[in-house]
Each structure stands twice: as C-alpha cells, then as structure tokens.
Structure 1
C-alpha cells in the first residue's frame, strides 16, 4: 500500500490536511463516523478538544481492528456543531492529531452540522483508509 500526499504549489499551503491523496492498495476500509462515545455508549468530555481526542481515538481503534494504522488514512471528514469553535481550537486539535495519528495528514474537510446523532456530541470523524 502506498499513499502519495499531493499539495500543489499553486494552492494555499495546507495546514493539518493534504489537498489530495493518491492511494494504491488492495483493501479499502470505510470507517463509520465516530464521536466521543465510551465503551458504554455515553459521550465523554465537555470540551471540543476532549471530544475530538476521544472521537479520533475511536476512529483509530476501528482502523486498528481492521488491520490499519493512521498512516493508512487517505481521507477524514470532520463534522463539527460549531465550526468557529473548531477553528479557535485548531492548534490544540492539531497537537492531538499529531500525538495520536502522526504528522502525515489525509485529505480532510470540516463540515458544520446543526447537530450530531447524540445531542451531547460536539464533533464526529469518519474516514477512508487503504491497506495492503
């Protein structure tokens, strides 16, 4: 498997994402949206960074169960109930990402959502990974 991160010079410099990711491999893993649910199904964390960390950890746990690693992520979509708060916390969220997933960023988008499935959820992440 290989992922090629593509960031054309004529586009704005990417911060915390790649503009495009070309993937080759034999196994496509589609990762369902993950929020900050704990093992009992309760949302944990009162702040956006706390919930982002748990949601990302949950996404990476699902990926690991499928045999993948963070480096296999080709695409991640973030759904946030407050995009302005997401932007305000971006430096901290970036540190959380790097600690849990490393410095190789997938193609990403942040989408504002009126609400998520669980009323208490502030953020949800889903993704696509390509494995050998």
Structure 2
C-alpha cells in the first residue's frame, strides 16, 4: 500500500507540502495538536523555531506510539501565532522537518492565529496519518 502525492500542473508548484495525498491504507491515526510542551508540561523555548521543533517532536512521538512514522502522515496543520518569525525561519524549520519527519511532505496548511490554548505557545502542530493494518 502506498501514498500517491498529487501535485497538478495547473496549480503552483508546492514547496514543503503536497496539494493532495491519496492512499489505499486502512488504519487512520488522528494526532492531537501538539505545542512545545516538555514532559513536565512546560513550554520549551521562546522562539518559533525552538517551539516548532518541540511541537513536531511531540507529534512524532505520539505517531510512533501508534505504530507510525513520518512516511505515514497524510495531512498536517500548523497553527502559528508568530507568523513573521515562522516565515523568517522557514529554511531552519524545513531542516527540522526533514530531520524529524523525512523528505516527503503531506498535504499541509499553515494557519495564523491570535493565540493558542497555552498563551506561551507560538506554534501547534496536528496531523492525520494512515497506516497499513
């Protein structure tokens, strides 16, 4: 079973995401939004890069516990309080993505928000993964 990443030529070439992902797999894992909380429940870092790394690490830990890996991600949504900081550091964020997830990109959205549940959080990452049974 595989993922087919669809990037139609009629749309702008994607950079860091796929326009659509199709799979014939059967086990779906819905990953809760993860912020930069450490194990004690404290936000790690005061910049978007550090927080993105911790939040993505947290999401990948939850996915691994469910039996999945970065290759299984079908979609990811990133909620961003510090959009200017995120955009200014997009190359560093991309390096973090490739190190923690891999080189394939799921369907993705980045959404600017006024604040997150924890007021100290600058980014939250959530996703859906589809695993083989």
**Is this a same-fold pair by TM over 0.5?**
yes
What is the Cα deviation at residue 75 of structure 1?
Answer: 0.2
TM-score, normalised with respect to structure 1: 0.97
Structure 1: gaps (5+ residues): none
In the comparison of the two structures, how many residue pairs are matched? 132
Distance across 2 between alignment mates of 1:99 and 1:68: 16
Deviation track 1:106-131 (CA, whole Å, cap 9, x = no partner) reads 00000011100111100000000000
State the shift of 1:3 in Å: 1.1
Matches of 1:23 and 1:63, distance apart in 2: 17
User: 2 CA distance for matches of 1:111 and 1:101?
Assistant: 20
CA–CA separation in structure 2 for the residues paired with 1:9 and 1:84? 29
Counterpart Cα distance in 1 of 2:108 and 2:17: 6
The question of 1:82 aligning with 2:82 is answered yes
Distance 1:25 1:118 in 2: 35
* Cα RMSD (Å): 0.8
Counterpart in the other structure of 2:121: 121
Q: Which runs of 4+ in 1 moved over 4 A?
A: none
More deviation, 52-61/80-89: 80-89
Give the deviation of 1:11 after TM superposition: 1.0
Return the offset for 1:99.
0.9
Matched, 1:23 2:23: yes
Aligned to 2:98: 98
Aligned 1:27-66 pairs, distance under 5 A: 27-66=27-66
Pairwise CA distance, 1:9: 1.3
Q: How far apart are the structure 1 equivalents of 2:47 and 2:5?
A: 31
CA shift, 1:82, in A, is 2.1
Q: TM-score, structure 2 length as denominator? A: 0.96
State the partner residue of 1:6.
6
